Structure 1
């Protein structure tokens, strides 16, 4: 049992907006924090918390989507969308793990270098470069997957639900 309906509306339709906003936002924040110590200094604990909320939102949304799939007509576009949706969780988990590692490494470096004003810059350059590259790969991968899922979902929902020409009685 889970969150399937919200005020009579399938929860997936509402929850998907959380994923569409938070996963790319988390990816962007991770890339910036990994590449720029000043950004990481400002974000602090907010980075892994944002990544955790993103991670939690993914299985909630996919569970609600699987419920919705059982309540609509069987359609290959819906099945394709569902299959793509199941592929987002590993990306969200990777965002969380790398966000937590980046936060922890900068926190650790700041703790060991309390005398410097910009103490997060004390993180070794090879570690920062590795974190930045890994963050870009995971961030771009997560963003692309969110796009692919959203595109397939829009096609599944709207493929024969509109007309390319306006109805004459509606101006």
Structure 2
């Protein structure tokens, strides 16, 4: 499904950085577009494209992580991290769906507004805009919280017992 090694190192370690950047970036772009129609018009099709790239990056990263899981010593921290990682995809699917909805709604309301008096276009669009905003907020917050939880558990799995809280003074490196 995707690379598992890059220059002899686990690809998951590299790919996870794409997810850590793209998910919050997509969430912020989605919220900005959902709140401000002018931002949505400027983003245009770029919003769903960004969300699609984000969506594609998650299973690729998860696949590389599953490969890595089979090549490290299993413990509770690793199992927790992989379990949380498996829970990200539905949130990113929600980001993608809401990005398409926001793009479509603002594209549609912009067309409708051009043929209707301003007050009627706003009245028609307001309930729909509010629903889109609430759903976008839920998807964005959920995705970002899940990325944080996954990252925290991954750092704990990778770094537990791998460093000393106090610096060594004998010139010997830890580990």
Q: TM-score, normalised by structure 1?
A: 0.92
1:33 and 2:33 are equivalent in the alignment: yes
Q: Which residue of the partner structure matches residue 165 of structure 2?
A: 164
Distance of 2:144 and 2:27 partners within structure 1: 7
Q: Which residue of the partner structure matches residue 57 of structure 1?
A: 57
Q: SS at 2:89's partner residue?
A: helix
Distance of 1:153 and 1:47 partners within structure 2: 29
Distance of 1:28 and 1:150 partners within structure 2: 19
Number of matched residues? Answer: 168
1:7 and 2:12 are equivalent in the alignment: no
Larger Rg: 2
Q: CA RMSD in A?
A: 2.0
Cα deviation 1:70-121 (Å, max 9, x = unaligned):
00111110010000000000000000001001101111222334469x9xx8
Distance of 1:80 and 1:94 partners within structure 2: 23
Correspondences of 1:70-89 after superposition (within 5 Å): 70-89=70-89
Distance of 1:164 and 1:38 partners within structure 2: 50
Q: SS at 1:166's partner residue?
A: coil
Distance of 1:38 and 1:113 partners within structure 2: 13
Residue 55 of structure 1: how far off its partner (Å):
0.4
Residue 52 of structure 1: how far off its partner (Å):
0.3
Residue 167 of structure 1: how far off its partner (Å):
1.5
Q: Which residue of the partner structure matches residue 90 of structure 2?
A: 90
Answer whether contact 1:48 1:100 (CA < 8 A) is retained. yes
Answer whether contact 1:95 1:138 (CA < 8 A) is retained. yes
Q: Which residue of the partner structure matches residue 155 of structure 1?
A: 156
Distance of 1:22 and 1:74 partners within structure 2: 28
Answer whether contact 1:35 1:131 (CA < 8 A) is retained. no
Structure 1 residue runs without a partner (length 5+): none
1:42 and 2:53 are equivalent in the alignment: no
Structure 2 residue runs without a partner (length 5+): none
Residue 9 of structure 1: how far off its partner (Å):
1.2
Distance of 1:139 and 1:81 partners within structure 2: 21
Distance of 1:13 and 1:2 partners within structure 2: 13
